[in-house]
Amino acid sequence: MLTDFGGDKAFGKVPKKLKEHYGIEVPVSMARQITEMHGEAMQLRAEEEMTRQVPTKGKQGIELLIAEMDGSMLPIVEIAPQTEGAPADGRKRRQLGWTEARLCLARDPGKVKGHYGGTLGGPEQAGDHLVNCVVEAGGGKSTKLHGLGDGAPWIVGQVRERFGPLANYLIDFCHMSEYLTAAGEAIAGKPQREWLHQQKERMKQSQVAEVLDELEDYVSPAQPEGPVPACIRYLRNRIDSFDYKSALDVGLPIGSGGMSGVN
């Protein structure tokens, strides 16, 4: 119970929650100690599991897995070291910063439950976790990967580096649509809703070239920046990650809802 609350709330709020829900009184120090103890045990287990690799010999693995990765910024409070002239009270030396939590998921397309991993480390550590999730989900040397996400370079890089030609990667359809929506709102003389619907349908048919041609008609040399040029750059820079039709034809998702739910 302490760990559940300690992982979800600031340690100072845990005693109140525990008293409210279970009628148990504990000091803040115990909430922190027990939560951090379990966190350390989880970290050690995760480090041991990172030795796993997708088999290159022997095990074929299941035919296909869906894989997702994403990043989420978390606020981190640190206590600056006490120096000469600094307040003795650590609360007055608190510093707020931000760090990125990198999350990953692998699941069998025929199953709702997936295998999750996460780290506060860099892309390489996140890639290790993704490999581990794939192995846990039944991946092997012949397993193909259907990757989904927002197209962040570190995500695409890890998917391609770890799984090579066995993996394809799709930009999350909703994320792509945000760029189209912004472009549609900037285009004069077109009913934005109808225009947007038409472009989304084209994208679902993997007609990226047609969408780019449509957008190019609304680019003005006098205004090289704005939602329309931004959308064009976004599509061109990820031109090989929008084959939605192939995914839809075989019943695979084109949105990364599994990872968004975790975030």
41 has pLDDT over 90: no
Enter the tokens of residue 28: 């803040």
Least confident interval from 87-91, 160-164, 211-215, 251-255: 87-91
153-184 pLDDT tens trace: 999 999 999 999 999 999 999 999 999 999 98
Domain check: are 70 and 167 in the same one? yes
Residues 234, 200 within the same domain: yes
For residues 137 and 56, is the Cβ–Cβ distance under 8 A?
A: no
Q: Are residues 186 and 125 located together in one domain of the fold?
A: no
Helical spans, DSSP H, in 69-168:
123-136, 153-163
Domain hosting residue 217, numbered range: 174-241
209 falls in which pLDDT band (50, 70, 90)? very high
Confidence check: pLDDT of 93 > 60: yes
What single-letter amino acid sits at 12? G
10 Å CB burial of residue 154 (0-12, 13-18, 19+) is middle
Domain count, the chain: 3
Q: Is 99 part of a structural domain of the chain?
A: yes
- Note whether 160 and 68 are same-domain residues: yes
The residues pairing with 171 across neighbouring beta strands, listed in sequence order, are 149
Are 192 and 143 contained in the same domain?
A: no
Q: Are 132 and 91 in contact (CB under 8 A)?
A: no
**Same domain for 23 and 117?**
no
